[in-house]
With several copies, the nearest count.
Chain A
Amino acid sequence: MQVLYFAWLRERVGAAAEEVDPGDAATARDLVERLIARDDRYAAAFCDLAAVRVAVDQEMGDLDSPIDGAREVAFFPPVTGG
């Protein structure tokens, strides 16, 4: 599964995208926990989950969105365009 990071999440993780084996992660939140267990960089990126937004296959979702079968999961802060 392709996992993408944007803005300060990208900076803290130190990567814009990476291939991740989701294992038995059923939701975006499960995936976050799996990542945090892997490395401190993820703990820093995901320290405030209230400030984390999620898209699954380029559709806005949230931490409880199912990721089963998803090709692409993205994590980013609240958007600030316009």
Chain B
Amino acid sequence: MHVSVQREDFDIAAEISTLTAGDRDIGAVVSFTGLVREMTPKGPISEMALEHYPGMTERALEEIAAQAQQRWPLQGLRIIHRHGPLAPGDRIVLVLTASRHRQAAFEAAEFLMDYLKTKAPFWKKEGDGGKARWVDARDSDDNAARRWGGEGT
């Protein structure tokens, strides 16, 4: 199972252990963890809610995972994305890649995050105790995804 969309937190060490268990041909494991930042361009926040599109989210992440596996020789790959209410400091997303060599593991992890940021149906709403506002998509994320070529963002 490559992809999980869940409300619950995740355990990075346990996920790495599961991913690498029994495979002694893995030389490189890269993890990316995304966290909720307290300070945003529009001021500090006290909470965040992550909405998603059940069904399509899993399909989009599986599709992104399949593309990464076609592009790089990966021994393992894992995506966990949370939804629901979160607070500053909370983990949002985990991407893990395992390969023989570090270049494939690094590149695949960056690709997964760039594509996830532009293709997976999640929407963040930030609150500061009073007002809540939907987060705008960032042009820099579109540009990051575009560098991998393919069918665009």
A residues in contact with B52, CB < 8 Å: 81
Pick the interface stretch among A2-10, A18-26, A27-35, A38-46: A2-10
A residues in contact with B136, CB < 8 Å: 78, 80
Closest to B123 in A: A7
Give the A interface residue count (CB, 8 A).
17
Complex alpha-carbon distance, A79 and B52, angstroms: 9
Does B81 count as interface, using CB distance less than 8 angstroms? Answer: yes
Contact B53 A80 (CB under 8 A): no
Closest to A60 in B: B119
A residues in contact with B55, CB < 8 Å: 58
Contact B53 A81 (CB under 8 A): no
Instruction: Digitize A49-81: 1 where CB-to-B-CB distance is under 8 Å, 0 elsewhere.
Output: 000000100111000000000000010111111
Count: A-B pairs, CB below 8 Å: 72
Contact A82 B121 (CB under 8 A): no
Contact A78 B117 (CB under 8 A): no
Complex alpha-carbon distance, A47 and B138, angstroms: 20
Q: A6-B51, A6-B53, A77-B134 are in contact. Are A82 and B92 (CB under 8 A)?
A: yes
User: Looking at A10, A55, A79, A82, which has the most chain B CB atoms within 10 Å of its CB?
Assistant: A82
- List residues of A whose CB falls within 8 A of some B CB: 4, 6-8, 10, 55, 58-60, 74, 76-82
